[in-house]
Structure 1
Amino acid sequence: MDEAATLQKPARDAASEHFDVIIVGAGISGVGGAYHLTQQRPGARFVVLEALESFGGTWLTHTYPGIRSDSDLYTFGYRFKPWVGPPIATAGEILSYMGEVIDENDLSRHIRYRRRITNASWSSQDKLWTLTVSGPDGVETYTTNFLWMCQGYYRHSVGYTPEWPDMDRYKGRIVHPQTWPKDLDLTGKKVVVIGSGATAATLVPNIAGDCAHVTLLQRSPTYFVPGRNENELADMLRQLEIDERWIHEIVRRKVLFDQNEFTRRSIAESEAVKAELLEGVKMFLGEDFDIAKHFTPRYRPWRQRIAFVPDGDLFQGIASGKASVVTDEIERFTEKGLLLKSGQELEADVIVTATGFDLSVLGDIAFEIDGKPLDFADSVTYRGMMFTGVPNLVWVFGYFRASWTLRADLIGDFVCRLLSHMQANGKRQVEVALRPEDKDMKIGGWIDPEDFNPGYLMRNMHLLPKAGDKPEWRHTQDYWNEKEIFPKIDLDDAAFRYS
């Protein structure tokens, strides 16, 4: 075994299986983590444990009509694997891309499916995590030196649906997009989609041609960016027969530069950006449409995620009359549909609750440290990936204002560098801790609601780790700076405690 191989480990129960690193989840982050380990820590013994029957995470579980990315694939794709399709991709295209990464790098031998971790226990004496896993043939036990949590941040098995009065009176069918039924036939049906985010904006135009009529019902509007689903720079470079690896890097940098400038302007020039976004909607819906009511949010741009609408398909559906939008609040359900607070009634054969995620902090696993139950809400986050008092564990939590995978790649480099640093210094345990200079630091929620405040975070902030007011102790959501900072993180800084 080569120089990057196994950290020293004690004897263990013969019934358990040991790995240097266990990656939790075979979604976009877990597959990327497996790639980085094979490239940067050759010889390290690792396994990817995935609860589902295959890889893909979101792109496997979400099967509602039109399911697609709302991030461009030149940045949502991995930095090491060129993307060659349109910027906004379908779930099938993303799964195919991930499958190529797995095949090209021989990663499938490291992935074990249908393994759901129920318990994770750290022993300071043994310097090991012990995992209790529900597998296809019963309970399995694994030990590992290091846990790399790549399971995402929401429950795949169920979405979030609010409890409205009299839901039990409704005679139609209530469906959440996250658990879309295979037998659902919308032909000739009146459909109401409750929601205002990317999922609702995707669903409405994709079912508008099948059902009798679809109504988008939103409590408050969201910002959207309509545009063509193409990248002119990439297309031009392909015409010049430039190598796809060069195209990927050039286009990726251009997209990131533009995104950073847009984010800066959203804060510094919010009224100008707001006007530009609304003008984009007006181009599709015209001057007579009530854009002020239906597509003008109450918050400044980028306080919640802005979804890209390829070719303006949502607005085209509304303009054609196949879809409509109602901005109001629900008073209660009725036998035939919904009664709104304005007094308007919406009849529906099917009601789709595109109302968001149900947050899951580190996979709903029961964690304990030396026999004591662990509540992550009692910890403080180090750059949104490590937690005070939690040894040998890193969590991948991506960006809101940029593609998730950008941060997954940065954290992949960090984890591999940290493992190499520990090995080089003969250390088997690392955790983060507040330094003496942090003793008077203000501690608050995971994210500042004045900066970013989607509902799925706001209603579950009490479950998430705390954050400080220094950049080291919070998830800054700033890729443009983190891409420079992460490679230079001083692993001997006092925030890192080794033993």
Structure 2
Amino acid sequence: MHSAQTPPVPIEQLKGSLPVVDIDPEVDAKAIATSVLQKFPVFSESTFIEDGIWRDLYALTSTFRTLFSRQSIIEAWTKLSEKYKPSSFQIATDRVSIEHAPPGGPPCSWIQAPFTFTTATTPSRTCSGAACIIPDSDNLWKIWCLMTVLESVEGFGDVDHLEPEADAQDLPLPSPVSSNASVHSLSWSASAKPPSSTNHFDCIIIGAGQSSLNTAGRMKALGASAVILEQNAHIGQNWLFRYRSLHLHTPVRYSTLAFTHVYPKDAPYFLHGADVGRGLQYFAQRYGIDVRTSSHIGSATWDEVKKEWSVNFTQNGGTPQTFHTPHLVLSMGHGGQIPKYPSIPNQAAFTGEIMHSLWAGKRAVIIGAANTAHDIARDMVDAGLAPVTMVQRRPTTVIRMDPKGNLFSRLYREGFPTESADRAMLSTPTVVRRLLTLRATEMFQRMTPDYYERLEGMGFRIDKNADIWQCLYERIGGHHIDVGVGEKVAQGLIKVKSGTPIASFKKDGLVFEDGSELEADVIIFATGFENSMRDRAADILGDEIADGLDGYYGLDEEGELRGVWKYTGHPGLFYAGGDFGHARFYSRFLALRMKANLMGVSFEEYTEKP
């Protein structure tokens, strides 16, 4: 029984709303921001609107918190201000701006005022933030939404900067991968750094994906040691060898790692999977990340007296080894990359091959209609295979990702720092980010109505209430961000079987509940992966510890991700996970937290619910 799990809350039930305000573009935004924030750090009831929102990312709460209502904000802010004594407040007046929600729906605008401050603690914290200011019903300017972000801690080092290894200063970026490249030629030729001879590290990370590499890099930037234990033989192997048509469905500038861009300037807007794998390898070599590949974890045990983990593993099938650390990070992908198979009766009757997309890449009927299914279907069509059929079990959230304009392009673009883009997107309260994204999605849908009509005309069922953040945080998939494959569906090059459940297998295919049949030589399950990191944790840590851990992903009542990048319910144990943007941004906070523990600095979480 998982007793410590935070109850998940559906994203549509989160508190908070967008303001219905149309701010005159001629107002003196800088003067208004200065007036509203002049009494910082003393905030009173006249500072916030009644249903104001404050999101803090480790600045004062030492965790991720979102508070709703003026009363709750003032109560928490007052108590935390007494403890941390924020001071040296400065508004970045040159960056004060009037912002607007995407068009469509009621008018929505606000004055956004970036600022910085420090805390009068030992050691001091340097923080950034932004106040979103609107007029209330009496035309008095007040804060609608406040964001505060921990940037650095005195004496810790710079978590956002790491110099390359001396012998990697001029390391060339890997060239873009041809879509026709042999799958066995995709691994980038990178010389591994000789491993450290120690068996004690400040942090041990299990898994070598983007979350792990970002975290290890951030720890190294803070002068702390980290080692990654990876079960595969190559860094980035899941990206390199899964299936030829694997692509990212987010733009290249969103999909990089900390400190530097790991892809060449001529990299495609939507990266080939092998580009990603080679980028991960490049990052590891450039920054000298200690990665032990072909490492198979046996177990990990906690010593309550020493406050230390002992991690038992073998590498390349050799002699068992034990590493020790005060911080263990589980970063094995959602559910440890264990394929999820739907239950379909009479499987033994099917005489062809049944595969999961993890191993697939040849002609077949594909069960699933999200990103992976579309990628595989495109691969088959491009190879001249026919017919290619996707079996769609439920309506799919579809978001068209046009390089000329999409949900990411305003922030993640040439000339705008990735660090600034991350803060603008990911420090925003989840409820606000979701509502703004819904408006943007609706705007793009209105711009291309024929696109969706053509898909539906081919039998592809679309979830019209496209909610990308719900897909990412609750379902952890099940959506299709279209980077061009939808056109093949609209043209009939990829067939769709939808509207009726699968009844059973038959000798040469599938039988559906309406009596129809679909013949197949190979059936591929593009049905995602298990989402329970706690079940994977139990395999390593044992049931007793795993039963005390929080859930992984899904949202709490404040809109914060459960469990990940923060306290899990056990000392020295953390989850890390998410797409490239989340891994890049949130890894900085986990690294600062672990460094604080190494330095004996209190990072006591604010857990009260005012």
TM-score by length of 2: 0.56
Q: Distance in 1 between matches of 2:425 and 2:359?
A: 33
Q: 1:100 aligns with which of 268, 279, 282?
A: 282
In structure 1, what is the equivalent of residue 206 of structure 2?
Answer: 24
Q: Structure 1, residues 190-212: CA drift from partner, whole Å, max 9, x if none?
A: x3111021111211122124312
Unmatched tracts of structure 1, length 5 or more: 6-14, 399-403, 439-469, 471-499
Using a 3 Å threshold, how does the CA distance of structure 1 residues 100 and 245 change in structure 2: closer, same or farther? farther
In structure 2, what is the equivalent of residue 38 of structure 1?
Answer: 220
Report the CA distance between 1:121 and its aligned residue.
0.8
Q: Distance in 1 between matches of 2:423 and 2:550?
A: 35
In structure 2, what is the equivalent of residue 202 of structure 1?
Answer: 375
Q: Distance in 2 between matches of 1:98 and 1:416?
A: 19
Report the CA distance between 1:50 and its aligned residue.
0.9
In structure 2, what is the equivalent of residue 448 of structure 1?
Answer: none
Secondary structure at the residue paired with 1:154? helix
Q: Distance in 1 between matches of 2:406 and 2:526?
A: 32
Q: 1:318 aligns with which of 489, 503, 518?
A: 489
In structure 2, what is the equivalent of residue 483 of structure 1?
Answer: none
Matched, 1:418 2:593: yes
In structure 2, what is the equivalent of residue 338 of structure 1?
Answer: 510
Q: Aligned pair count?
A: 393
Q: Distance in 1 between matches of 2:353 and 2:240?
A: 24
Q: Distance in 2 between matches of 1:247 and 1:231?
A: 18
The one-letter code of the counterpart of 1:161 is: Y
Report the CA distance between 1:118 and its aligned residue.
2.3
In structure 1, what is the equivalent of residue 577 of structure 2?
Answer: 397
The one-letter code of the counterpart of 1:304 is: C
Report the CA distance between 1:97 and its aligned residue.
1.7
Q: Does the CA contact (< 8 Å) of 2:208 and 2:229 recur in 1?
A: yes
Using a 3 Å threshold, how does the CA distance of structure 1 residues 338 and 344 change in structure 2: closer, same or farther? same
The one-letter code of the counterpart of 2:298 is: T
TM-score by length of 1: 0.67
If each structure's helix is expressed as a fraction of its own residues, which one has the higher value? 1
Matched, 1:295 2:461: yes
Report the CA distance between 1:221 and its aligned residue.
2.0
Report the CA distance between 1:246 and its aligned residue.
4.9
Report the CA distance between 1:317 and its aligned residue.
1.8
Using a 3 Å threshold, how does the CA distance of structure 1 residues 284 and 367 change in structure 2: closer, same or farther? closer
Q: Does the CA contact (< 8 Å) of 1:28 and 1:57 recur in 2?
A: no
| Bigger-Rg structure (1/2) | 2
Matched, 1:75 2:254: yes
Q: 1:219 aligns with which of 390, 393, 413?
A: 393
Using a 3 Å threshold, how does the CA distance of structure 1 residues 76 and 361 change in structure 2: closer, same or farther? same
Q: Structure 1, residues 355-385: CA drift from partner, whole Å, max 9, x if none?
A: 111235154454559xx82124654787633
Unmatched tracts of structure 2, length 5 or more: 1-154, 158-196, 473-478, 553-561
Q: Structure 1, residues 369-418: CA drift from partner, whole Å, max 9, x if none?
A: 9xx821246547876333454011221132xxxxx233323333223322
The one-letter code of the counterpart of 1:347 is: E
Moved more, 166-175 or 360-369: 360-369
RMSD of aligned alpha carbons:
4.0
Matched, 1:304 2:475: no
Q: Distance in 2 between matches of 1:422 and 1:265?
A: 37
Q: Distance in 2 between matches of 1:16 and 1:257?
A: 37
Report the CA distance between 1:275 and its aligned residue.
8.4
Moved more, 202-211 or 358-367: 358-367
In structure 1, what is the equivalent of residue 522 of structure 2?
Answer: 350
Using a 3 Å threshold, how does the CA distance of structure 1 residues 298 and 163 change in structure 2: closer, same or farther? farther
Using a 3 Å threshold, how does the CA distance of structure 1 residues 116 and 94 change in structure 2: closer, same or farther? same
Q: 1:142 aligns with which of 309, 318, 323?
A: 323
Q: Does the CA contact (< 8 Å) of 1:367 and 1:373 recur in 2?
A: no
Q: Does the CA contact (< 8 Å) of 1:368 and 1:374 recur in 2?
A: yes
Q: Distance in 1 between matches of 2:392 and 2:446?
A: 17
Q: Distance in 2 between matches of 1:261 and 1:87?
A: 27
Q: Does the CA contact (< 8 Å) of 1:26 and 1:57 recur in 2?
A: no
Secondary structure at the residue paired with 1:294? coil
Using a 3 Å threshold, how does the CA distance of structure 1 residues 164 and 274 change in structure 2: closer, same or farther? farther
Report the CA distance between 1:215 and its aligned residue.
0.9
**Identity rate, percent:** 21
Report the CA distance between 1:25 and its aligned residue.
1.5
Matched, 1:125 2:289: no
